[in-house]
Structure 1
Amino acid sequence: MNNTQLDLIRLAAMDAGKATRLLHRVREETLAGRTPPVAPRPVIDASWQRMFRLGLNPDQSTSSVLLQRDELEERRRATVLGEVMRTLSAGLSGIADASMQIMVVTDEQGRVLWREGNLSVLRQANGICLEEGAAWSEQTTGTNAVGTALAMGKAVQVHSAEHYVHTLHNWTCAAAPVHDPRDQRLLGIVDVSGPASSFHPATLALVSSVAQLAEAEMRQRHLRSIERLRSVAAPILCRVGGRAVAVDPHGWTAAVTGMAPVDRITLPKSFRTGRVWLPSLGTCAVEPLPGGWLLRVEEDSGPGGPGAAAASRVVLDLSRPRRWTVAVSGAAGSWSQELSPRHAELLYLLALHREGRTAAELAEDVFGDRTRTVTVRAEMSRVRRNLASVLAHRPYRFSEEVEVELLRPAHPADLLPQSTAPAIRAARTGTTA
């Protein structure tokens, strides 16, 4: 039996009827626990396995309780995606309309905030509850481009019987995540969906390109806001004695005096005026500025001073599917920050190996290549920028006096699902500790 891997290019080259029959057979055999004639694509197989573990019924409907109009409007106002809707519409709406498809934009929870495109397809979408205010995460709707892109943190195309719930087998969809360039936080998903007959493998590249264009626009908006803050902060810093820095609400540096400039300073979520301890600076006096904050560093403080010594506990939380955090606490207080996928991988490995890992060992763990030590050292330098008080090096490790708690997903297979690092893949399959 031919068990080579299915791919979208082969599907597009097939007769439509033959491709549909093949996808249905692959799904039926896989869901029944038998070997399919062709292996499903890895991203689809991984999603189906998550659906098995959730106990999701493949015969369920895709209906969900819609958001009330006032809550929908509040979510629209609260997201930065609203600022780039014109870019998203210009890039996708017209093409979607002409190709008998629709554009859908969701928030980071998979709730549909906007949709537009072909009127006939919009009416069809109502039949599967692909409408404003509906929930399209994997947990509610099974394998689908929006939900699976949210779960994996990368662009995904799902066609016909690749959908876990059979109600969606007459549909095709391609979706890409949109991240906030200021802090890499996932903002939501942009998706193009339509009848299965409108499938084209190039749709995914188009959606991904438009998502990147929206991120580039947000990046330009951010740079302009930094320039405005710099113009306000520069004359103030000229009169400040000692070390001080002006940052925007996300910690990006606009101006600095008396110290080496850095790109960004990690700020606690509940940032406020007054005296605040920061891991990279020590204790600071915080004052508001138009569009940001002024941080005056107290001269008897610093990352190697009393605040650093007080750090005694680290909680590395990888239990949630798309949001990984590290929290540090001690006598001086506590703070937390969200982690990029790469930094989550590195800290997970150091939490596993309390004795430490050399740069070569981490390169083997993450890339499967012990020679990529320069890349590892650069990433670890970024990690230690805010965690110097709890991370040692030569080898890289958590300090012995620090208690480290690692929170993992309920099922090992859900550990950092987007990661391709050999050590993480091995941990997901249970072949390592």
Structure 2
Amino acid sequence: MAVTGELRRRRATLEHAWSRLVPALGEAGPPSDVPQALRREVTESWARSLGSVDPRQTSAPVAEDGAVHHRWASSPLRAPVRALAAELRGVADDAGFVSAVTDESGTILWTCGGTTMRRRAERVNFAPGGRWDEAAMGTNALSLALRTGRPSSVFSAEHLVTALHGWVCYCAPIHGPDGRVLGVLDLSTTWDRSHPLAMSTVRGLTSRIEAGLRDAGVNEADVRRKPDPVRLTCLGAGYADRGGSRLALPPRQVEILTLLALEPDGFSPQRLRTALYGDRPVTASTFKAEMSHLRRTLGGAVATRHYALTVPVRCDAVEVLRALERGDTDTALRRYRGPLLPGSEAPGVLEWRSHLDVAVREAVLASVRAEHALRHGERSPDDVAVHEHALALLARDDVRRGLVLGRLHRALRH
């Protein structure tokens, strides 16, 4: 096809220009004969980026605080994006795109797309937690849109990082009612699917998100306000507090809050009922009463129709999972105080309990620090493999070997 041939020629031209110009920028400054195919804003971004970004890096770095779940839960963008989520997924699926929303720093908070494109995106950490600002990931459409406050598109080798040369990205900044940039909406796909209509699609969707912000009455004070978060303790116990005061939540509502905290994208009513009750015959009025009570206790902070939290909730189970994702086994073990809601039989809780238990145990068995196996062995006295792992890591003259041997013998007798 003619269009495909044109795209191939454009890509080849940009690859050639990149190979000539980027090494020169990194050494002695730009050459005098910059190819016309390169936009000035791209070459200027390359020059700025090379001070902090290696063009050979394979993926975006992770946000330092790791608290993307809480940032998305408290973001003013969440409600209007959720209102468009079905349409965004439809656009992504139909056209072979992956869509993303960032905050004002360029950290991705939310993504959607088909399985194939999401897997490709995850290889370069185009996923929640990935940092795509210019200082972290060099020249890309997200960083240009944030820097200029205008829609931006970056094609193939216009990206500084070579791992992105197979992509084309279309972005538009999302402005709050006060004019400040709150984040960016992005549509990305492979270079051969580049299409001029993609930019108009991004612009239209961004305008609707901005309209949602206006309808919600979001202003500068709302964006800056940081309400006291709910603190949910669900490992080895089950309760919630806010501002130092315990919330009056019965066990079933703690189960609901736990599931909503672990799955920030939320639940359909039917899926949440199944996660709570399984096949038990529970009336719709009973379920709705539980939701209503939880919503009142949280000050209305549970979305209706599609159940999801609309306020930050600090959850110990989520913190353990985030620590494991970062490879921080030490923090994960400090915060893992026991199984998830140990008294619960809700199917959704049982599933997450198993997931957490396995994830923590595997991290302990993969660790080369005896302290990790010792600590976990104290909480899991019947786990033979953990005790054997501790013995393998402890020196022969370590006095703690006797403690571990005692635990191992006890576990073998059971």
Q: TM-score, normalised by structure 2?
A: 0.48
Q: TM-score, normalised by structure 1?
A: 0.46
Higher helix proportion: 2
Higher strand proportion: 1
Structure with more contact order per residue of length (Cα contacts < 8 Å, sep ≥ 6): 2
